Every structure is written in C-alpha cells, then in structure tokens.
Amino acid sequence: MLLKAGIPTLLLLAMAAQQAFGDTSLIDTGRLLAEANCQRCHSIERTGDSPFVEAPPFRVIARMYKASDLEEAFVEGIVVGHPAMPEFQMTGEQAAAITAYIDSLGH
C-alpha cells in the first residue's frame, strides 16, 4: 500500500492536477494513489483478481469495512498479519482520497 517515502510528492501532483483542471475528484485522487502504491498487490478495479493472491481486491475491502473505519485505520497506520504488506501511515487527505476510491468500488 502507501509507503511513507514519495507519497507527499504524489499527493501534491494529484492535488495540483485537481486545481489545474478542476475535474479531479476525491475519488480520482484516490485512484491515482492506488495506482501508484497498491496495484502491484491488490486489484484496484471492479473486476479481476489481485496480482498477489493474499491481497484482497479493493472491491472486497469496500464490502468488508465501513469507509469511516478504513479512513481512520489509514491515518493511524495499518499493520496487517502478513509480512508482505508494508507498514504505512497516510495524511488525512490521502486517507480520505483512497477511502473514497475504495468505497466507490463497493457500490
């Protein structure tokens, strides 16, 4: 998922695009973050398997957890029970964006 290094730069680029074009929503920003940091292991699409079998697709995560719980966990720093998942912590803006994107896949 999101690693500590490089994320502020990515978020700034996404936010700059949002300001410049005015049409990049919170969900779009979340997708940019997911593409850059999560898709090597998780399926970030509405269909398809995750590249890493143990990593649940985002659409499954959306059905398993309430968006508010996910956002809080992202800000506090997610640590899961398998060693392949890196530890990470996000800013509030990053957490809101990626949570909005994940939640959009569950509907």
The answer to whether residue 45 sits within a structural domain is yes
Q: Any idea what DSSP says for residue 86?
A: P
The answer to whether residue 15 sits within a structural domain is yes
> Could you report the per-residue pLDDT of 47-98, keeping only the tens digit for each?
999 999 999 999 999 999 999 999 998 888 877 767 788 877 789 999 999 9
Q: How many domains does the chain have?
A: 1
Instruction: Domain of residue 67: give its range.
Output: 7-105
pTM (2 d.p.): 0.76
Per the CB < 8 A criterion, the answer to whether 97 and 14 are in contact is yes
Report residue 55: phi and psi, to 5°: -90, 115
- Which of 107, 106, 91, 86 minimizes the C-alpha distance to 33? 91
Q: Write the CATH number for 57.
A: 1.10.760
The answer to whether residue 89 sits within a structural domain is yes
The answer to whether residue 76 sits within a structural domain is yes
Q: What is the DSSP string of 1-45?
A: ---STTHHHHHHHHHHHHHHHS---HHHHHHHHHHHHTTTTS--S
The answer to whether residue 2 sits within a structural domain is no
How many other CB atoms are found less than 10 A from the CB of residue 5?
7
Name 88's bridge partners: 78
Dist. CA 101–CA 50, nearest whole Å: 16
The answer to whether residue 13 sits within a structural domain is yes
> Could you report the per-residue pLDDT of 6-46, keeping only the tens digit for each?
455 555 555 555 544 455 699 999 999 999 989 999 999 99
